[in-house]
Chain A
Amino acid sequence: MTTPPTLRRRLAERGLDGVTLLVLPCVVFVLALFIYPALYGLFLSFTPKQGGPLANYIRFFSDPFLYDTIYTTLLIAVPVTVLNVLLSIPVALRVRLMRRQRLLTTILVIPITLGTVLVAEGLLNYLGPRGWLNRTLMTFGVIDEPLRLLHNYWGVALSLLITGFPFTFLLTLSYITGIDPSLEQAGAMLGARARARFTRILLPLLVPGLTITLALSFVQAFSVFPSAVLLGAPAGPTRVISIAAYQAAFEAYDYSLASAIAMIMAAVQVLIVVALLVLKGLAYRGPVSTGKG
């Protein structure tokens, strides 16, 4: 006597059984504390304290004190991110040939681990008018007067360099070491010089990885907060968009406006990342390893 397969059996054939259910708590958790707040924030941003559904957005884009923050943040985040990535490439190319990379990578992971608050506190003294940096430069006669590096654009930019460069470097290094060295050796054997090997072989293979590196580090830099407050001029030249969002939420207690600013912040990040991905789509896509994957 044959019985039709039970529901349990049929589900198991599609991969749904007791083991699969183990993923549920995690999914519910992410839905409840990531997706739901994001959707709720979007909804909240359209229910302002006063005015029609779009009032928050109209207010943001008509008040220079608010909409300027986008430009201010981009002005800090874009140059620093591009610089970090441009510096990472030659350094990673060099380091990949090193046999003992671990010491260097360990040193570089320290600022990432310590985080922006500690870096800010350290730089407050280090970059100060009597700090070691200015003192050294003056001793060697590079400058006559201390450089003003604090409570302005440069303080924030330098802190993003200290925490951002190791991040982009370690990402770039992991992409570069993923490229099969025999590809470059083949190029060398066929007579390509170092520059040609880089532009014709390595760079095209690196483009997808570099795009992701660029996207990730831009997004990090765009949401800069502690160093913009502690090392920058949070009322003026380094009033970044996260400061505007924070002030709306925790100083004006206008969660609706704060949500709108957070949504605008996310939108700018998504726009730039999508633009980068589109640009990447125009570049070469192919395997970075040879034959035996």
Chain B
Amino acid sequence: MRRDKRERLWAFTIWLAVGLFILNLIGMIATVVVNSFGSRWFTTWLPVGWTTRWYTLAWDEFQLPAILLVTVEVVGAVVVLAGLIGVPAAYAMARRNFPGKQVIMLLFLLPLLVPPFTYGIPLATVLYQLHLAGTIWGVILANLVPTVPFVVLIMIPFVEQIDPRIEAAARVFGAGLGRLFVQVLVPLLTPGILAALLLVLVRTIAMFELTFLTAGPDSQTLVVALYYAVFAAGVRPGQSIDAMAMVYMVTTLAWLLIALRFVNPTQIVTRAKR
């Protein structure tokens, strides 16, 4: 009986800790939401009044249209290129055993395990020497470094679960590699490709370090622009920075929700687990 009580107390403690964590998390996010809509908020629990003018201010002051355009271009290019390079590579890795496969696997794991800031500095140095850093192409190339291997690792199990006899049949009927991909594999792999590319999309919107290290003034994505806005806080009203943070947050979370229809939340973290 006493043991039962202690066990329940232990369970209660754990749920309390989780509850407090989530409460603080919600509090942190709600602060951004409330502040972005508040007219003045100093010594009270909630702002004195409500307004949407910070959004119009942020829209003009931070040049949000231009930043959003760059973000869309970068994210779009990264998603398409990561898919084009990653999916065929995953197919080869899943279907063939060749000498050196282990080494190549390790090669693909490294960019996922090493934190971006560590390899970002030498990568940015190389891109600056090639005069690519500071342009949108430098940002795209840098963002492809972790995302291409990510697509490969996600896609390998999806390829493995396709029956090889389907491919063999297509070959027998005279399909070349190109037709095999377009007419057989891509339709069968659609759920996997969708999951992988949506995760790439969410990760690229939120990828701060690599974009920060390689972006110039005209090639900042939303998250980097947000960093500079927070960094230079005091120049502009805090509420308009929070309005910008809201634009970033809504964009990211909307795509996260879409992605979560196709993947399990744990997959976002355990991608590098072997």
CA distance A105 to B264 in the complex (A): 9
From A20, A37, A114, A223, contact of B92 by CB (8 A): A20
Contact A230 B231 (CB under 8 A): yes
CA distance A112 to B149 in the complex (A): 20
From A16, A91, A130, A242, contact of B14 by CB (8 A): A91
In the assembled complex, A108 has its CB within 8 A of some CB on chain B: yes
- The chain A residue sitting closest to B11, CB to CB, is A94
In the assembled complex, B69 has its CB within 8 A of some CB on chain A: no
Contact A91 B18 (CB under 8 A): yes
Contact A40 B88 (CB under 8 A): no
Q: How many residues of B contact A (CB 8 A)?
A: 91
- The chain A residue sitting closest to B272, CB to CB, is A216
In the assembled complex, A292 has its CB within 8 A of some CB on chain B: no
Chain B residues 123 to 147 lying within 8 A of chain A, measured CB to CB, are 123-126, 128, 141-142, 144-145
CA distance A266 to B111 in the complex (A): 13
Q: In the complex, which of the residues B18, B97, B122 has the most CB atoms of chain A within 10 Å of its own CB atom?
A: B122
In the assembled complex, B260 has its CB within 8 A of some CB on chain A: yes
- Return chain A residues, CB-CB under 8 Å to B89: 22-23, 25-27
- Return chain B residues, CB-CB under 8 Å to A246: 121, 213
In the assembled complex, B62 has its CB within 8 A of some CB on chain A: no
Contact B265 A26 (CB under 8 A): no
- The chain A residue sitting closest to B95, CB to CB, is A19
Chain A residues 201 to 220 lying within 8 A of chain B, measured CB to CB, are 212, 216, 219-220
Contact A223 B118 (CB under 8 A): yes
Cβ distance A80 to chain B, nearest Cβ, rounded Å: 14
From A14, A30, A166, A226, contact of B208 by CB (8 A): A226
Contact B107 A121 (CB under 8 A): no
CA distance A16 to B69 in the complex (A): 43
Contact A16 B98 (CB under 8 A): yes
From A111, A115, A245, contact of B121 by CB (8 A): A245
The number of A-B residue pairs with CB atoms under 8 Å apart is 252
Cβ distance A66 to chain B, nearest Cβ, rounded Å: 15
CA distance A17 to B142 in the complex (A): 30
In the assembled complex, A102 has its CB within 8 A of some CB on chain B: yes
In the assembled complex, A171 has its CB within 8 A of some CB on chain B: yes
In the assembled complex, A173 has its CB within 8 A of some CB on chain B: yes
- Return chain A residues, CB-CB under 8 Å to B88: 22-23, 25-26
Known: A26-B85, A125-B31. A20 touches B22 (CB 8 A): no
Known: A23-B93, A265-B118. A34 touches B35 (CB 8 A): no
Contact A171 B273 (CB under 8 A): yes
CA distance A255 to B269 in the complex (A): 32
Contact B115 A222 (CB under 8 A): yes
Cβ distance A248 to chain B, nearest Cβ, rounded Å: 9
In the assembled complex, B161 has its CB within 8 A of some CB on chain A: no
In the assembled complex, B29 has its CB within 8 A of some CB on chain A: yes
In the assembled complex, B183 has its CB within 8 A of some CB on chain A: no
In the assembled complex, A21 has its CB within 8 A of some CB on chain B: yes
Q: Mark A158-179, 1 if CB is under 8 A from B, else 0.
A: 0000100111001101100000
From A35, A94, A170, contact of B270 by CB (8 A): A170
Contact A30 B270 (CB under 8 A): no
Task: Give the bracket for the number of chain A residues in contact with chain B.
Answer: 35 or more
Q: At the interface with chain B, which of A46-54, A131-139, A180-188, A282-290?
A: A131-139
- Return chain A residues, CB-CB under 8 Å to B231: 229-230
- Return chain A residues, CB-CB under 8 Å to B209: 223, 225
- Return chain B residues, CB-CB under 8 Å to A33: 123, 126, 141-142, 144-145
Contact A106 B265 (CB under 8 A): yes
Q: At the interface with chain A, which of B49-57, B71-79, B188-196, B238-246?
A: B238-246
Q: In the complex, which of the residues A16, A37, A193, A259 has the most CB atoms of chain B within 10 Å of its own CB atom?
A: A37
Given contacts A33-B145, A94-B11, A115-B208, 6 further A-B contacts (CB under 8 A): A14-B99, A23-B88, A41-B126, A102-B265, A113-B268, A226-B227
In the A-B complex, the 9 residue pairs with the smallest Cβ-Cβ separation, listed nearest first, are: A41-B122, A26-B89, A15-B98, A223-B115, A22-B88, A122-B28, A105-B265, A23-B92, A262-B121
Interface positions of A (Cβ within 8 A of B): 14-23, 25-27, 29-31, 33-38, 40-41, 44, 87, 90-91, 94, 102, 104-126, 130-133, 135, 162, 165-167, 170-171, 173-174, 193-194, 212, 216, 219-220, 222-223, 225-226, 229-230, 242, 245-246, 249, 255, 258-259, 261-262, 265-266, 269
Jot down 19 A-B pairs with beta carbons below 8 A, ordered by A: A15-B97, A19-B92, A25-B85, A25-B89, A27-B104, A102-B265, A106-B260, A114-B253, A117-B208, A118-B245, A121-B230, A170-B269, A170-B270, A223-B115, A230-B231, A245-B121, A249-B121, A259-B125, A266-B118
